[in-house]
Amino acid sequence: MSNQRLQLFPLTTRVENAALTIGGCNLTELAEKYGTPLYIYDAATMDAAVQEYHHALQEHYPGASGITYAGKAFLAVAIAQWTQRHGLWVDCTGLGEMRVAEAAGVPREHILIHGVNKSPAVLAAALAQAGTIVVDNLSELRRLVELSSPDFRGLGDLGSLNTPNLWLRFRPGRAVETHAHIQTGQEDSKFGMSAAEIAGAAQVCRQQGLPLSGLHFHLGSKFDDPAPLRQAIEDTLALAKEIPLPADWTLCIGGGWGVAYHEDDLPQPPVEDYIRFAAQAVVETCRRAGMSLPRLHVEPGRSLVARAGVAIYRVGTVKRTAHRRWLLLDGGMADNPRHALYGARYSALPVERPDRPNTGPAWLAGPYCESGDVLIENLPFPDVQEGELVAVPVSGAYHLSMASNYNGATRPAVVWLENGEARLIRARET
Ligand code: LLP
């Protein structure tokens, strides 16, 4: 069991002198130095994940292609800088993420702006700072037209405007198989435009001379069956035939490819299967329709960073109730709300002697004042003592980016591990 659990951890994870190490660093020493809860990111695992995408696109898509990192999964200056070492674009939703990208020195042409209700301030900043804006709806497009008109003076100095490329977000009317909270492509979703609205938006772009250069859809997040992508790709390509787009237009198929969170989810869903499927659907549909190939963009978040991240907690109290053994940790739903929100199923290992046999089920819960503050339920686990450290794998995506200050909790420190060295990339909040 333990060995299988190790496959959920970063690629560089080892058991050395009966203790977990990642990226050549001893987790107990890191916890002592930086305190707990502590989040670590393993550079080698992130590099390997992005290489899988580059490789699969090169192998299976004969046209031009690109990758945008969905910053909502976890963005920090060091992460944004990592994206630039790999030639990625960064998807920013909102001013905060844009500021991080700016602080990291991400060049304008690599910044893409998302959002379902972008404020005038976000749109103004996007016009000034982004290479691409994904337009969600017609009201937003009207606001963009106003803001980019030369005589607009409402939001400060936009004098030297270089209008970003615009992509229109299509709502194809189908979603991937996943938790309802993270399905986005269905007909009644709040995201994107219908086919008729896309046609209207394209018309506005033409009339106003706005640089429309792409179509986008995102069917949902954390899926491992790519089948629903086919119809969405076919419908988007049919739409592309009807509207004026430049020859080198971009088709962005969103992100959402899943990862294994628990040993029962293993083996990892291969990125190559996903990219091969999508690339073939695009190539076949274009061939049938007599269209040339668009530039193909993908927009992964979770599958680039989830496995690279590990959360380290200290067990404060071991408590037994009628039917449960509780391991009460020093972190929980404030740094990882995913079990509470989506019923996400995690696994864990003790940091010291992780290969101890499991002795029975455990419930790993946090210190916060509600019964929903549980990270893991009913996980076979060894006997551990109060004061021991526990490592929760697959903690790199949508934990810290959704973390809260519930009960006055402070957000954990984040450490980057590379070549045996640990570097603090975000200080613990005070
Ligand atoms: N593109 C768009 C337009 C998106 O909305 C998202 C995710 C992505 C790409 C990246 O999806 P990914 O590859 O990371 O699955 N908090 C939830 C996930 C919310 C996803 C939101 N949008 C969770 O913890 O599972």
Confidence at 152, pLDDT banded by 50, 70, 90: low
Closest by CA to 347, choosing from 385, 389, 395, is: 395
In this structure, the residue with its CA closest to atom 8 of ligand 1 is: 255
Phi, psi of 72 (to 5 degrees): -65, -20
Kindly report, residue by residue over 280-306, the tens digit of the pLDDT: 999 999 999 999 999 999 999 999 999
Whole-number average pLDDT of the chain: 95
Tokens 């969905």 appear where? 70
Residue 345: predicted pLDDT: 98
Cβ < 6 Å from ligand 1: which residues? 70, 72-73, 114, 182, 218, 221-222, 254-257, 299-303, 338, 342, 397-398, 402
Cα(410)–Cα(76) distance, integer angstroms: 16
Cα(234)–Cα(200) distance, integer angstroms: 20
Confidence at 156, pLDDT banded by 50, 70, 90: very low
What is the widest separation between alpha-carbon atoms in the chain? Answer: 72
Tokens found for residue 227: 């089948």
Kindly report, residue by residue over 332-353, the tens digit of the pLDDT: 999 999 999 999 999 999 999 9
Residue 148: predicted pLDDT: 85
C-alpha 320 – ligand 1 centre gap (Å): 37
Cα(135)–Cα(202) distance, integer angstroms: 11
Active site residue 92: no
Per the residue annotation, which of 25, 252, 286, 369 is the catalytic one?
369
Other CB atoms within 10 A of residue 374 CB:
16
Cα(26)–Cα(154) distance, integer angstroms: 54
C-alpha 238 – ligand 1 centre gap (Å): 25
Other CB atoms within 10 A of residue 323 CB:
7
Kindly report, residue by residue over 58-96, the tens digit of the pLDDT: 999 999 999 999 999 999 999 999 999 999 999 999 999
Confidence at 232, pLDDT banded by 50, 70, 90: very high
Closest by CA to 415, choosing from 27, 91, 17, 14, is: 27
pTM of the model: 0.96
> What does each C-alpha distance from 362 to 16, 312, 345 come to in angstroms?
25, 17, 13
